[in-house]
Amino acid sequence: MANVVVVGTQWGDEGKGKVVDLLTRYADYIVRFQGGNNAGHTLVVDGKQYIFHIIPSGILYENKKCLIGNGVIIDPAVLLHEMQELADNGLPVTPDRLMISERAHLIMPYHNKLDLSSEAAKKQGAKIGTTGRGIGPCYGDKISRKGIKIGELLDDALFKEKLNYNIEEKNFLLTQKFNSEPVLFDKIYRQFQEFGEQLAPYIGNVSVELDHARKNEKHILFEGAQGTQLDIDHGTYPFVTSSNTVAGNACTGSGFGPSHINCVIGILKAYTTRVGEGPFPSELFDEVGDSLQKKGGEFGATTGRKRRCGWLDAVVANEAVRINGINGLAITKLDVLSGQPQLKIATSYDEGGHRFTAMPGNIKKVASLKPVYEDMVGWSEEIRDVKSVDDLPASARAYVKRIEEITETPAFILSVGPGRDETLLLQNPFAGK
């Protein structure tokens, strides 16, 4: 058996969904361990595009079991919509294929309202670029010990008690601080009663399920959302998400012992992108940045917002290798660089003559950093039909090799296009385990 964690190494949008889809072939269980529907995984299978926000992307394989861990926060309306879309496409989601941790917290309607109201009240320059889906307020309630867990939908008296307390507090904030309309207890209660009835067969103890799978020598794949630089502790705070996106949270967010993890795969886009606000040292504001954005189809899977594009940032990559304990890289969107005569890799930062090889914790300092680049020769050939590393242009092979050298981490996977078959699996983390 093998237990493998997949994480993003940048600011998210690295192509985790496609890599998880590839590795799911070799796994028995696929586990989502953090985040909510502020994340999106896009897959292209047989020419059809699928976008997942909560359900693990392994659900496209009928003989696999998908688990949603306690570290995930759930908007039931979004989850049920995803389940219905899959059913409409001939992939019904049954309780034997999907389990939701009873400890996962619920995104409530007042979380969405507070998220939007809080962001709107911030001055320009102080805005985070939140998706407005209630993620921060929900995690805030979880940490302050007043959140509502999905398993509590099955205890009517407890749910009523907690909902009443929260609505009283949230309505005070909405009306007095943000001058917004209050939320209504009866409306939310009835709505979530229905959600509970629909989701009850799927709710269970994910930690126990995973332990059973491990003892039966099953392959387990842990699927993260967002990227390392969006981690609440280790990212470019405060321009981050509200959960821990790093590999260590695969255990905390699912109830799985850390000593059982065998391998961590870091997804690294061949260039760098970022959605929303916050510093981005290698960002390009010229025609090259525009070219990468257009050719790469760089729009957020969740929000549709245009992604900011820049050269590959090796400081960010090395940060991710160190924090996550990455064993192998999955380098994605290598094909997007085809046609660029010259490539650059940011190997360090400069600020007033001071050199940085790690991301500073001071966000103002991060915003003032200038990337120090290493130049590399590009390639003109399109590579989407390539089936072997040896068939890649020499410059593309040199680029991959340089990434491996700088990060001191081997490439396990190379993605040369969006399709399932446009991937080179160099080393299978599940093989030989």
Q: Which sequence positions are flagged as catalytic?
A: 13, 41
* Residue 5 zone, left/alpha/beta (φ > 0; ψ -120 to 50; rest): beta
Q: Is 214 helix (H, G, I), strand (E, B) or coil?
A: helix
Structure tokens at 218: 């099953």
Helix/strand number for the chain, H first, E second: 12, 20
| Residue 152 contacts residue 209 (beta carbons within 8 Å) | no
Could you tell me the CA-to-CA distances from 63 to 299, 313, 352 in Å, in that order?
31, 38, 56
| Residue carrying structure tokens 């590999």 | 247
Residue type, 5: V
Length of the chain: 433
Cα–Cα distance for residue pair 232/235, rounded to 1 Å: 6
Number of C-beta neighbours around residue 351 at 10 A: 14
What's the token pair of residue 170? Answer: 């949230």
Token pair, residue 366, equals 């991060």
Any residues with CB less than 8 A from the CB of 309 and at least 6 apart, and which?
Answer: 271, 272, 273, 283, 284, 289, 290, 292, 293, 296, 298
Q: Is 348 exposed, middle or buried (0-12, 13-18, 19+ CB in 10 A)?
A: middle
Beta strands 423-425 and 411-415 are antiparallel
Distance of CA 391 to the CA centre of its chain: 31
| DSSP E strands, 275-380 | 308-310, 312-313, 328-332, 342-351, 354-356, 370-377
Tell me the three state secondary structure of residue 417. coil
Report the distance separating Cα 33 and Cα 254, nearest Å: 6
With H, G, I as helix, E, B as strand and everything else as coil, classify residue 252.
Answer: helix
CA distance 119 to 128: 7
Report the first-to-last Cα separation within the chain, whole angstroms. Answer: 5
Q: Copy the structure tokens of residue 374.
A: 């290493």
User: Which residues are 328's β-sheet partners?
Assistant: 265
